[in-house]
Amino acid sequence: MPEVVPFAKGAEEHVLLPGMANRHGLIAGATGTGKTVTLRVIAERFSAQGVPVFLSDIKGDLSGMGQPGVANPKIDQRVKDLGIEAVPFAGFPVEFWDVLGEQGHPVRATVSDMGPLLLGRLLGLNEVQGGVLSLVFKIADDQGLLLLDLKDLRAMLSFAAENASQFQTSYGNVSAASVGAIQRGLLALEQQGGDKLFGEPALDLDDLMQTGAGGKGVINVLAADKLVQSPNVYATFLLWLMSELFERLPEVGDPEKPKIAFFFDEAHLLFDDAPKFLRDKIEQVVRLIRSKGVGVYFVTQNPLDVPETVLGQLGNRVQHALRSFTPRDQKAVKTAAETFRANPKLNTAEVITQLGVGEALVSLLDARGAPTLVDRAVIFPPASRLEPLTPGEREAAIKGSAIYGHYERAIDRESAFEFLKVRNAPAASGGQAGAPPPSGAAVPEGKREKPSEFEKMITSVGTSVLRAAGSQMGRTLVRGILGSIFGGALGKTSARRRSRRY
């Protein structure tokens, strides 16, 4: 393992121990106090230790991490303040991703993978509407219809509404008003560009957990300067990604170093307007994902943005300056001060308001898992280039990637939309479109007529699914609902095994 390098220096040098890095962390502070530089420096340390990183580039200024940095007056002053000789400038292996497909490899999930819970949150559905959405997902599962993109979901919603009387006995009431609300939510989502999140090829998590030259962990940079303008899409995508990591990765206990470090910038968006049951599940995921070898680091302006149940799981803390102008600000300062292990030589609450740019209060977990005494420290300068890449440099980096061309080619294979279109074809030409029998309804053997169009469609679906599953492009499509934490609440999850497609 590469040498562990400090990222901050105060009364002593502060090192984030690889064996404690999966105990999660918090980087907090007011705007302009140096949070982004701290995120960058810690990500560099992880990469140097062979740990892959996933982070969001909210302001568009992290793309230069693939290039070595250069000296400038601010860095020279920081070097002087720290009393070190020089910064060992270096670049790190970087992959660029973008939900919108403009500044990186397109990143997608299938509608089935996203599941009704997260999709309902994305669409802003109430409890009744969310229940109807879950019901529609269940019908799709039972009928063997694949939900890959939004047109599949739209078609499935229409199908369920048109055959509501057939499904009522076995599934419950499919309210036309709720279906209409969901359809309107999908339209609004498409207008925000959220439809680009759904489809195939879906993101393969293995592509996020790679190492590059010299054994350095790949830093996966999500272009989020435009995405964050749709905060629901941004927060739901990152929550989905975190839950996928939880569900996909096996238990490893306490590894020597994390399998991946996951940075959640603008963390307050994850919890804003989230119902209590979802907050509870997020807290469970954060608590349990540690044993999967994943370190989660929340980056936010105010520690009060993170619920106490989650805040209590964050063992590694870097607190930049907070301003105390309002009663809420004063409460935030007090809360932040009380969460640190007290240092008798430091008035924590007072120092928080006095920190300069690039300074922070630091408390990390030691080798025994105990928090160190809080210390006032200066963050080391980053080794990578501070200036973002030019459009030409970014394009060259994307096209030079080993995975370039795979995600860029969208796939639209046969799924619910196509099969439901076939089913409706007889009705459009004046024929009789077959409607599904109520679930569990027995048909006497002597009275069974020739297969209906619906039955033919289901047979065709099964054949297509088997054909897709047996091909190299095949992939088991299951619904991910915050991993196996939900157990059988809305359907059991299955192990996902995605084939490499190169």
pLDDT digits (tens, 9 = 90+) for 81-114: 899 888 999 999 999 999 999 999 999 999 999 9
Structure token pair of residue 134: 């879950």
- Give dist(CA 199, CA 66) in Å, integer: 29
pLDDT in tens, 143-154: 999 999 999 999
pLDDT at position 191 is 85
pLDDT at position 426 is 60
Q: Is the pLDDT of residue 335 over 90?
A: no
Q: Is the pLDDT of residue 481 over 50?
A: no
In DSSP terms, which residues pair with 371 in a beta bridge? 365
HSE of 294 in the Cβ direction (CA atoms, 13 Å)?
26
pLDDT at position 429 is 53
pLDDT at position 487 is 36
- Name residues whose C-beta falls within 8 Å of residue 500's C-beta, 6 or more positions apart in sequence: 204, 206
Q: What is the pTM of this model?
A: 0.84
- Map tokens 């009060």 to a residue: 304
* Pairwise pLDDT comparison (65 vs 493), residue with the higher score: 65
pLDDT at position 194 is 84
Mean pLDDT, the chain, integer:
85
Q: Is the pLDDT of residue 486 over 70?
A: no
Q: Is the pLDDT of residue 445 over 70?
A: no
- Give dist(CA 456, CA 471) in Å, integer: 23
Report yes or no: 397 and 98 within 8 Å, Cβ to Cβ. Answer: no
pLDDT at position 324 is 80
Three-state DSSP string of 321-373: CCCCCCHHHHHHHHHHHHCCCCCCCCCHHHHHCCCCCCEEEEECECCCCCECC
- The SS3 call for residue 471 is coil
- Name residues whose C-beta falls within 8 Å of residue 321's C-beta, 6 or more positions apart in sequence: 29, 30, 33, 352, 353, 354, 355, 356, 357, 359
In DSSP terms, which residues pair with 320 in a beta bridge? none
pLDDT in tens, 378-430: 999 999 999 999 999 999 999 999 999 999 999 999 999 999 988 776 655 55
CA distances from residue 152 to 31, 199, 475, 479 in whole angstroms, order as listed: 42, 10, 17, 15
Q: How confident is the model at residue 276 (pLDDT cuts 50, 70, 90)?
A: confident
pLDDT in tens, 9-39: 999 999 999 999 999 999 999 999 999 999 9
pLDDT in tens, 317-332: 999 999 887 888 888 8
- Terminus-to-terminus CA distance in the chain, angstroms? 29
Burial class (CB in 10 A: 0-12, 13-18, 19+), 361: buried
pLDDT in tens, 189-227: 988 888 899 999 999 999 999 999 889 999 999 999 999
